Amino acid sequence: MKFLDSARVFIKSGNGGAGCVSFHREKYVALGGPDGGNGGKGGSVWAEVVNGLNTLIDYRYQQHFKAKTGIHGMGRNRYGANGDDIVLKVPEGTQVYEEDNETLIADLTSIGQRFLLAKGGNGGFGNAHFKSSTNQAPRHANPGQPGIERTIWLRLKLIADAGLLGLPNAGKSTFLASSSAAKPKIADYPFTTLHPNLGVARIDSREFVIADIPGLIEGAHLGTGIGDKFLGHVERTRVLLHLISATEENVTQAYQTVRKEVKAYGQGLAEKPELVALSKCDVLSDKERTRLVNELTRESGKPVIELSSVSHEGVDVALRQLSAEILVSKRAEEKPVEDNRWQSVVDR
């Protein structure tokens, strides 16, 4: 399945059905009176988060969605049926924006969550509705209300607990493959990863989701390379794992390049907890490894994880540290419940 994280969609809710002008006609029944029924309500347009989707690719092939019109009212006080709703099925983490692609309408983050995008028009009243003591034979009815037309943008931001950052060929995809059941494309050339990948890692009976995005290069926030468009997929993560390849000519410069792009992107990404790892350590001698680790430690101000996804060295260490950071973040979000059992009657 191809990956698509942005789509422009036109939607229209259904028009309401018109009310009916009708009078009762039956043998031996004089002055039957008005019996025109009301029109049915037009269908609405909803967005709903469903399980099993991780891309917006369906909206590349269909961009127009129109709900059904309500059925018109009929004689003998028969009401028109409501028009069928239409539901846009989207993956978890989808955001809905106005046509300007800047004004956020809804942020859909949980399975089963629904949001009304366009309400259907109400049906019109039939002439029976207008009958009164002073107007016993009304000859008018209401038309149905028109539906709502609008153009929206769907933008997907994957929901993951941990995100992987680094330059192209930093070993992110290899780490994801070695720590989960994900099978991303891995090759020895830049920008092997062209779209985000997700994997579920398991360590010490705890599971969490890792997101791998295409590598960043200098000037990515200006559109260089693939650009920073995929950084949105790690906005929701609780912790970042920054991988620096041991094959880089200057590991400190490589670290600063990615940090600069993350800060330029904004959205609070630079303030997230960050773990630093020197990847592909299996190609280094002990002396060279020590030197590079010390350089990275001084530059980042953080302890550096020595990592080799091929030999699995340091993978469990990285997973345990990621798991610990995720646990801390989740606990910080939990609001403590105040115990008021011993509160005095006077205080209450």
Mean pLDDT, to the nearest integer, of 235-246? 92
The hierarchical CATH code for the domain 1-156 is 2.70.210.12
Confidence of residue 220 (pLDDT cuts 50, 70, 90): low
> Residue 48, class by beta-carbon neighbours within 10 Å (0-12 exposed, 13-18 middle, 19+ buried)?
middle
pLDDT tens digit string along 293-303?
999 999 999 99
pLDDT tens digit string along 246-273?
999 899 999 999 999 899 888 888 999 9
Q: Are 274 and 302 in contact (CB under 8 A)?
A: yes
Model confidence, pTM: 0.78
What is the rounded distance in angstroms from the CA atom of residue 199 to the CA atom of residue 208? 8
What is the rounded distance in angstroms from the CA atom of residue 306 to the CA atom of residue 285? 13
Q: Are 182 and 161 in contact (CB under 8 A)?
A: no
Q: Which residue would you say has higher pLDDT here, 156 or 195?
A: 156
Residues of the chain with CATH 3.40.50.300: 162-333
Q: Which residues pair with 154 in a beta bridge?
A: 7, 96
CATH T-level fold of 162-333: Rossmann fold (3.40.50)
Q: Are 17 and 69 in contact (CB under 8 A)?
A: yes
pLDDT tens digit string along 17-60?
999 999 998 888 888 899 999 999 999 999 999 998 888 999 99
Residues of the chain with CATH 2.70.210.12: 1-156
